[in-house]
Structure 1
Amino acid sequence: MMVRSQAADYGFQLNEFDPFFNFRATEFLVNNGLAEYYAWHDDMSWHPSGRDVSATSQVMLHVTAAATYKIFGANVPLYDFTILFPVVMGSLTAIVVFALGRLVGGTTTGLFAALLYSVSLPVAVRGTIGWFKSEPLGLFYGLLGVYLFLSGIHSTNKKVAVSKIIGGGIILAFGLSSWGGIVFFIIPLGLFFVALPFLRSDSRFLMWAVPLFVASLLLTVLTFERPGLNFLVGIEGTAMIASSSFLVAAYFLHRFIRKEKRLQYTGLFLAGFVVASFVILGVTEKEEGILDLPAFRYLNAMNPFLTTSEPLVDSVSEHATTTLRSSFFFNSVLMIFAGFAIWYLIKKKDEDQRFNIKNDLMVFSLILGLAGVYTASAFIRLELFASISVILLGSIGLCVLVKQFLLPQGIKTPKRITRIIFLGVIAMFLLVPIMLPTDSNWVKAVKGPPTILNGGSNYNVATNDWLDAMGYIKENTPQDSVVAAWWDYGYWISTLGERTSLADNATLITSRIQMIAQMFLSQPDEAHKILQELDADYVLVYVAGQKVSDSGAQQDLYLLNGGGDESKKQWFIRIAEEPLSRYLQQDGTSGTDLFWNETVLGKMFPFSVIAYVNPNTNQQSASYQPGFIPVYVKDIKYPPGGDGPLELVYASPSFEESRSVLIGVFIYKVNEDYAP
């Protein structure tokens, strides 16, 4: 918890964007009850259509947070409670990981798994203090559901088995309603169902246990609007039903086949079943279109080659394509132990009596590992699942190594000093990603200011620029105002500013986001018309940069590429389906003269290029040259009280005070009387 709470050093705030909507939804649920929540149509989002909250949200996240707040909240403000919620859930999930590891490989494996989970970077960065998003609770429910199912099918008490199996299905459904990413567990579970007839002979038990789990999962999912019926009729539900149907059919066939022939005939049956399934699905899909495909980002996870084909999906930083470098950084030395575990389980398990793992649990661990690594190849956010896979396999590998050395088979036990050295080497390996490199190790990587305090910029600073800007909107604009901004800031506007936004991080209406992008890239007169069509009263833009001039200089000089809209404009262009070369120079970031002089976004940035500078030679140029970077000076094009299509009504403190780091939030009022 201490590692994941480092962000509190900068300020006790929610982190990122989605947590602000989740807080607002949880607050509504606490104040109005479940019935009102399910009937809630949020008119402050996606103006003018609004948003059906229960059909488009992670309902179990809001319900669980509201319920636990009612029980444990005492006099703590709900906002503070939701800030602490992720780190508490992360601690509880570590207990579940211990239980899962112990089930698979014994207590030592469980202890290693819990330890590795507690320091894993992909897990930690999505479970820090203030990260009131889907992942922490979704992982808790998802892993708990998987654990209960696996524990249930290994229980000798039928009543206990039934309870665990049903509970596992229900809780896994809770996980799906908390975070759509939990659909990942459908992959290893479905493959595991298919593998069971090859691994276990207790057909009478599994023929009802697995369908019972699937039925409890699907029936519980249907009680939620999301994922709801789409899950049942989509690829995910079809996979669950098909794999469990194969299991039942295969075990039924076992009754008519001699024991020594079962594997051979089950393999032939599987091949026929797969071919028949694809034929049936292909014909019915072509004729009826009955299969409900998931959202693009889920298809992206199944097919990593789609990673650059959808600009809106690719514009999200956490959807960046996974690289080998990032994979090694996220998993580090754990990959060594996981690789050793895979080799050991495949080659040596049957020869070693010191490490007892059931064949079906061994196969599940291997399936989970392969599925996690494959899925994570799509984009960085899914490294979370690769991490879960590596943690389980890595803990098995560590357990095997420790037992191989400390409990040798058929030879003399090593001396005490030798054992101490061996344990020291293992500890040193485990400490490498936590301590090295000193400036970007796993501990340092999760320490940073909440996004609301640094605007999601590249600078490790904490300011009140965004909080003050939202305070201005809340206190100085009419209550029925509509604020246009890039979708990243929609949740902040509706939650902190308490005003209606046009788009937000739910990305529900792609055409609306495209329209906003087109507005920003349009000439001022055309942009004014689009803003009127959108019914917008105010427009917000965000610029992040750094002052590079001395305090005694005649005018402040700035470098702008710090992570604000000035750094996102290439995505505005792609999403608006405009040619990049029209608005950007060869370096892909610097704006062309057309961008600065003819687009409303260029004019809303209160800066102009004064010169281009080569940072290596200090050579200056009045026009862009390859290898040169633009230097800016302040230049407000739509001043307060002006007669243009927009007028600046608010600039955040770091702009007015000329601080060294600029976290510039600029709010413009749409001039209703403007006549082109």
Structure 2
Amino acid sequence: MTKLGFLRLSYEKQDTLLKLLILSMAAVLSFSTRLFSVLRFESVIHEFDPYFNYRTTRFLTEEGFYKFHNWFDDRAWYPLGRIIGGTIYPGLMITSAALYHVLHFFHITIDIRNVCVFLAPLFSSFTAIVTYHFTKELKDAGAGLLAAAMIAVVPGYISRSVAGSYDNEGIAIFCMLLTYYMWIKAVKTGSIYWSSMCALAYFYMVSSWGGYVFLINLIPLHVLVLMLTGRFSHRIYVAYCTVYCLGTVLSMQISFVGFQPVQSSEHMAAFGVFGLCQIHAFVDYLRSKLNTQQFEVLFKSVISLVGIILLSVGAVLMLTGKISPWTGRFYSLLDPSYAKNNIPIIASVSEHQPTTWSSYYFDLQLLVFMFPVGLYYCFNNLSDATIFIIMYGVTSMYFSAVMVRLMLVLAPVMCILSGIGVSQVLTTYMKNLDVSRPDKKSKKQQDSTYPIKNEVASGMILVMAFFLITYTFHSTWVTSEAYSSPSIVLSARGGDGSRIIFDDFREAYYWLRHNTPESSAWTARGPPSCSTASCTRCATIASARFTPKPSVLLVLTEFVTLRLATRTLSWMCWRKRILQSTGLSGYTRSKTLTTVASQERKTQNSKTHPLSGTHSTEHLRPPYHDLRRKREDFFILLL
């Protein structure tokens, strides 16, 4: 027994207590390091898209799941509207609403907005815990603690999980690592229990983020590699068949996913590997019942027949449209030049651009150098689990190079493999430290074999400690300066170094909420306008921007007639301004439009309007309040 303060604990209990303490510190660090924006700008939703998520979550908590699932949102993309239940991944909203109701059940009164703001930091703490258990299955507890500490502060993950970043990625990384952890447990044990837990974790992942497609292709790829390397066994068969069957059925319960798991090309790899598992199991059964010569003849015949049938059925299904082709985003992952040459709208998004070398160091720092060390260790100690993490690391590295937003998928595996690498380096050199032992060799013998063993070991440990400290400082600085600034609240440094806050966006949205009718349609900044200003978002202007010039006038005039005919502003004046602002005066117009334009010319006076650059049409406007006039002029600018 060993004394520890006033406690008397065994070595095993001390070890467990120390691990629990370090893991708790990593979880607290993961939560607290994401609160810079709250301390600096108050509790506020950051980006424009999270405002829509917040509005749907608020509706869910107030109205319940049934109304939420059947909710038709007439504020989004007017005049089409949006069916919310079938067009979103509801996992984020359901998680927030469940947490909100649990807290209120225990009489912890908190607003749903604050739940949304702090949800991502909370799940980042859970991610650190899951990372520890996942890495522990790959190597040991020491590597798990290092990986948990690294993922707590890695900028590549913090960029999507700071307080106020209420988006799907905030909980998706936790779901992904939880699914991987359950998969490794299922592979090691061959247990239906762990396989079912993996399927449930996969269902949570599907309900939370569209990136589940990466997961459902990585696990089948792992099984295929195990087949090719001769490592396929009954454990793998039970694990994969349970995960695929149960996970596919559960994923189809998400309305936004529907029948895609059995129809889309992105899911066909999982189905194909499932079929290979059945063939492999059947072949093993035949091998045990037949002699070698009979088995070879039957095997070649069956494989040829089954291959021809599968290829024929697959070709027919693809030609008839029963299996949908890959989307442009997935094609661009396999062929980086595909989107640029065929779908420019995808290539124009900044998140879809290739990653620069500087971005890797900025978002990962030390992990860039320790990642190969972890890979080297896994290659030297091949097992079913290490093969999986090698494939995860290599594939995510490639995809992150093609698309910068997938740095989020790369960051966790970088932390895991770097934790394994650092743990192995420290373990190797800690053994070389000079420790007094009964069987200690003489000084002469030590010098002849390893003259400066103790000094080299001490130096390497100090170097690793220095690198880990610099990694922590770098990650904290990046989090504070680069990833903790909301788009809706701006800041700048004054001449004296003080921070100046610009809250003009929210003030403008609040002004719109209190000074415009709720039926107003706004074309710019739609998501925050819907949530903050209680206005309707319009889809017509967005579609007009992609309409050929000769047809854009008809689209816009239809929009103006629909939305503004009941208002006091003359619709003829609006048509003229649209015509001149789009530069269509030289195009041939229909007789009706020509007649309207001639009527407008007759009513013009000699004054020039400062906004449109044409003669004023003030006499066409009936008297109305100055506030309404300001709103209409503001709408002209937006249009």
**Common fold by TM > 0.5:** yes
Cα distance in 1 for partners of 2:512, 2:312 equals 56
Q: Give 1:290's aligned residue.
A: 322
Cα distance in 1 for partners of 2:510, 2:542 equals 25
TM-score (norm 1): 0.70
**Deviations 1:332-376 (Å, cap 9, x if unpaired)?**
331221112223333x43xxxxxxxx6111110111011101221
The residue identity in structure 1 corresponding to 2:460 is F
Shift of 1:413: 12
Q: Give 1:209's aligned residue.
A: 239
Q: Give 2:135's aligned residue.
A: 101
Cα distance in 2 for partners of 1:253, 1:305 equals 42
Cα distance in 2 for partners of 1:100, 1:66 equals 28
Cα distance in 2 for partners of 1:445, 1:281 equals 55
The residue identity in structure 2 corresponding to 1:321 is P
| Secondary structure in structure 2 of the residue aligned to 1:462 | strand
Q: Give 2:590's aligned residue.
A: none
Q: Is 1:164 paired with 2:194?
A: yes
* Closer, same or farther: CA 273–378 of 1 in aligned 2, 3 Å: farther
Cα distance in 1 for partners of 2:397, 2:460 equals 29
Cα distance in 2 for partners of 1:525, 1:316 equals 27
Cα distance in 1 for partners of 2:62, 2:519 equals 22
The residue identity in structure 1 corresponding to 2:110 is V
Q: Give 2:273's aligned residue.
A: 243
The answer to which structure has the higher helix fraction is: 2
* Closer, same or farther: CA 527–512 of 1 in aligned 2, 3 Å: closer
Q: Give 1:430's aligned residue.
A: 468
Cα distance in 2 for partners of 1:130, 1:277 equals 52
* Closer, same or farther: CA 286–247 of 1 in aligned 2, 3 Å: closer
| Kept after mapping to 2: 8 A contact 1:522/1:598 | no
| Kept after mapping to 2: 8 A contact 1:6/1:446 | no
Q: Is 1:182 paired with 2:230?
A: no
Equivalent of residue 63 in structure 2, options 29, 32, 51: 32
The residue identity in structure 1 corresponding to 2:395 is A
Identity %: 19
| Kept after mapping to 1: 8 A contact 2:132/2:148 | yes
Equivalent of residue 143 in structure 1, options 132, 157, 177: 177
TM-score (norm 2): 0.74
* Closer, same or farther: CA 537–241 of 1 in aligned 2, 3 Å: farther
Shift of 1:463: 1.7
The within-5 A match list for 1:250-649 is 250-257=280-287, 279-280=311-312, 283-308=315-340, 309-346=342-379, 348-349=380-381, 359-407=383-431, 418-435=456-473, 441-454=477-490, 462-485=501-524, 489-503=525-539, 513-516=542-545, 529=557, 531-532=559-560, 535=563, 599=581, 637=611, 643=617
* Closer, same or farther: CA 171–599 of 1 in aligned 2, 3 Å: same
Cα distance in 2 for partners of 1:537, 1:324 equals 54
Cα distance in 1 for partners of 2:305, 2:417 equals 31
**Deviations 1:33-62 (Å, cap 9, x if unpaired)?**
111111101110011111111111121111
Q: Which gives a bigger RCO, structure 1 or 2 (Cα 8 Å, sep 6+)? A: 2
Shift of 1:285: 4.5
* Closer, same or farther: CA 185–414 of 1 in aligned 2, 3 Å: farther
Q: Give 1:577's aligned residue.
A: none
Cα distance in 1 for partners of 2:636, 2:416 equals 55
The residue identity in structure 2 corresponding to 1:33 is G
Shift of 1:11: 3.0
| Kept after mapping to 2: 8 A contact 1:7/1:450 | yes
**Deviations 1:468-498 (Å, cap 9, x if unpaired)?**
111122111112111122xxx2110111111
What is the total number of aligned residue pairs between the two structures? Answer: 533
| Kept after mapping to 1: 8 A contact 2:213/2:267 | no
| Kept after mapping to 1: 8 A contact 2:182/2:195 | yes
| Kept after mapping to 2: 8 A contact 1:193/1:244 | no
Which of 1 and 2 has greater Rg?
Answer: 2
| Secondary structure in structure 1 of the residue aligned to 2:56 | helix
Segments of structure 2 that go 5 or more residues without pairing to the other structure are 1-30, 434-445, 493-498, 567-578, 584-608
* Closer, same or farther: CA 389–281 of 1 in aligned 2, 3 Å: farther
Cα distance in 2 for partners of 1:3, 1:99 equals 22
The residue identity in structure 1 corresponding to 2:542 is I
The answer to which structure has the higher strand fraction is: 1
